[in-house]
Amino acid sequence: VEHGHKCDAPEPMLSLSHSSGMLVCVKAPVAVGVDIEVQKPSRFRDALAIAEFVCSQAERAWLAELTPDAQQRGILQLWCLKEAYFKCIGSGINFSHISEMSWSPVSGDCTVAEGAVTIAYARLWRGVNSEGDNVYLALCTQDRPLPALSPHIDEECLSLAWHEIAEWRLFLPDLTVLN
């Protein structure tokens, strides 16, 4: 703002995330959240136990149908999406409400409760780094579905090809839940 005049252009929003020596930064004209997570094949998580604390009933049911290896990937994908959402809204992770919200792929066969309201949109990518680790990247916004886009990588620093997993929507069964 200069001399009392308001600027019509929206201020850019930034979001940052880091994991295992990787840093990702997103700049957008709307509120945006980003998260990057690295899954080392040698690290096994009890995905179903973690899901009890951070996943909705629909997400837990989806994870339970997967093989143990797929559960490892699935819980990290859901965590990445949830963390990107909390960064998007600028609240920090809210463990009292994290299991009330449910991510679902737009083109998937995951069922969403009748009356559920879409509160955010995201895209999720997966890559494999030179050490054989799975790397997940989630980008989230509340305003509208994200356009088709692809992450840019400084190839001198990292050899990683991204593959989009899916476009996702975040649902709440009832907006009064968070009030």
CATH number of the domain that residue 25 is part of:
3.90.470.20
Structural domain span for residue 128: 13-178
Give how many domains the chain has, as a whole number. Answer: 1
Residues 6+ apart with CB under 8 A from 178: 97, 100, 172
CB 56 within 8 A of CB 151: no
CA-nearest of 22, 165, 19, 160 to 83 is: 19
Confirm whether 2 is domain-assigned. Answer: no
Q: How many CB atoms lie within 10 A of CB 90?
A: 10
Look up residue 63 and give its amino acid: L
Confirm whether 134 is domain-assigned. Answer: yes
Q: From first to last of its 179 residues, what are the pLDDT tens digits of the chain?
A: 344 444 454 566 878 888 888 778 888 888 899 999 998 878 888 999 999 999 999 899 999 999 999 999 999 999 999 999 999 999 888 888 899 889 888 875 555 566 678 889 999 988 888 888 889 999 999 877 776 666 666 555 556 777 777 888 888 875 443 33
Longest CA–CA separation in the chain, Å? 62
Confirm whether 52 is domain-assigned. Answer: yes
Distance, in Å, from the CA atom of 14 to the CA atom of 153, rounded to the nearest integer, reads 17
Confirm whether 8 is domain-assigned. Answer: no
CB 101 within 8 A of CB 55: no
The predicted model scores a pTM of 0.81
Confirm whether 6 is domain-assigned. Answer: no
Distance, in Å, from the CA atom of 82 to the CA atom of 22, rounded to the nearest integer, reads 19
